[in-house]
Amino acid sequence: MPTLFCHRLEADATGKLVNYHLRMPDQKRAAVKAFQGLNFKCIAAGDSYNDTAMLGQAEAGILMHPPENVIREFPQYPVARDYDTLRRYIDEAAARI
């Protein structure tokens, strides 16, 4: 049961989502930094550009199902294409940190 921190969604009169408003800029990196401020070690996984600041802030970052251009631009992160591989990378990172 993960905790979800959501942005504010905007709907029109019919209930159709028409916009969103970020709760704060760079929220993923800020969340990891806040956990680190509480002396947590963080392993982060993400799939796209909007996750790379978070991956860089964490003690270990993993790309999960990213597009090829993200893999090319961020070769420092291991790439998982299935959950078994992701779990292996998480376990390896946990042993290092």
Cα–Cα distance, 56 to 38 (Å, whole number): 18
Full set of structural domains in the chain with CATH: 8-96 (3.40.50.1000)
The predicted pLDDT at position 3 comes to 74
Least confident of 4-13, 25-34, 54-63: 4-13
Q: Write out pLDDT tens, residues 33-91.
A: 999 999 999 999 999 999 999 999 999 999 999 999 999 999 999 999 999 999 999 99
Place of tokens 């996984």: 45
Buried/exposed 81-91: b ≥16 CB within 10 Å, e otherwise: eeeeebeebee
Which of 86, 95, 12, 88 has the alpha carbon at shortest distance from 46?
A: 86
The predicted pLDDT at position 2 comes to 76
